[in-house]
Chains A and B, each alone.
Chain A
Amino acid sequence: DARVTQTPRHKVTEMGQEVTMRCQPILGHNTVFWYRQTMMQGLELLAYFRNRAPLDDSGMPKDRFSAEMPDATLATLKIQPSEPRDSAVYFCASGGQANTGELFFGEGSRLTVL
């Protein structure tokens, strides 16, 4: 059963600490997205990659957020330093069907910054 895997599922940390979230996309998918979900803003696109190259990270605060794909099976989202306003659920999604644009979502990483 192919699925997007995200770790950690839950993370509680203190303000100023570094946070790294990881995502394993579905094997064979060439597009990976990072979304953030909050009650106030809903689902926001932070960044996305195609064939491991970053295509758009305009939704991401550049001073503290960074996203990378070291290889085709791993995407990372890093926050340094973290702030309370970063508390949210972060979703990774992958896709590979150019004719439909369908995305498959992981179960999310719930981040709480104290």
Chain B
Amino acid sequence: AQSVTQLGSHVSVSEGALVLLRCNYSSSVPPYLFWYVQYPNQGLQLLLKYTSAATLVKGINGFEAEFKKSETSFHLTKPSAHMSDAAEYFCAVGRGGTSYGKLTFGQGTILTVHP
């Protein structure tokens, strides 16, 4: 079984400040890990993904995440927040093989960016 825990349902930062969204996962097999972003009234859009290659993954809009197996974590960071980053962010875990594409999502973290 796989599961994802996102620490903090709401995170608030000032424009220009560091963004850190936390995600811990549980998986009995080597996981595939994803961060998705959802803007109001839209679907989920892929930010970045980890699929057993480099542990530091760079995504769109300046976001990156680091896979740490020893900590079972996949935290999302961005050095400097923009107002346009305000959205809800979802961490998800999946696997390869015959179950590829079947993702388990965390509960989401709403990011607010203050001027």
Contact with A along B26-53 (1 / 0, CB 8 A): 0000001010100001111110010100
- Interface band, chain A: 20 to 34
Collect the chain A residues with CB atoms within 8 Å of residue B51's CB. Answer: 99-101
Q: Known interface pairs A99-B51, A100-B51. Does A105 touch B45 (Cβ–Cβ under 8 Å)?
A: yes
Contact with B along A1-43 (1 / 0, CB 8 A): 0001000000000000000000000000001010000000011
Collect the chain A residues with CB atoms within 8 Å of residue B94's CB. Answer: 101
- Interface band, chain B: 20 to 34
Contacts between the two chains (Cβ within 8 Å), count? 63
In the complex formed, the residue of B with least CB distance to A41 is: B107
CB–CB B101/A103 < 8 A: yes
Expressed in whole angstroms, the Cα–Cα distance for A107 and B45 within the complex equals: 10
Collect the chain A residues with CB atoms within 8 Å of residue B34's CB. Answer: 101-102
Collect the chain A residues with CB atoms within 8 Å of residue B107's CB. Answer: 42
CB–CB B43/A101 < 8 A: no
CB–CB A101/B103 < 8 A: yes
CB–CB B32/A108 < 8 A: no
Collect the chain B residues with CB atoms within 8 Å of residue A99's CB. Answer: 51, 96, 100
Collect the chain A residues with CB atoms within 8 Å of residue B32's CB. Answer: 100-101
Expressed in whole angstroms, the Cα–Cα distance for A104 and B101 within the complex equals: 10
B82 CB–A CB distance under 8 Å = no
Which residues of A, 47-104, contact B by the 8 Å Cβ criterion? Answer: 48, 56, 91, 93, 95, 97-104
21 contacts between A and B (CB under 8 A): A31-B100, A33-B101, A33-B102, A42-B105, A42-B107, A43-B90, A43-B108, A45-B102, A91-B44, A93-B43, A93-B44, A98-B96, A98-B100, A101-B51, A101-B95, A101-B103, A102-B34, A105-B36, A105-B45, A107-B42, A108-B43
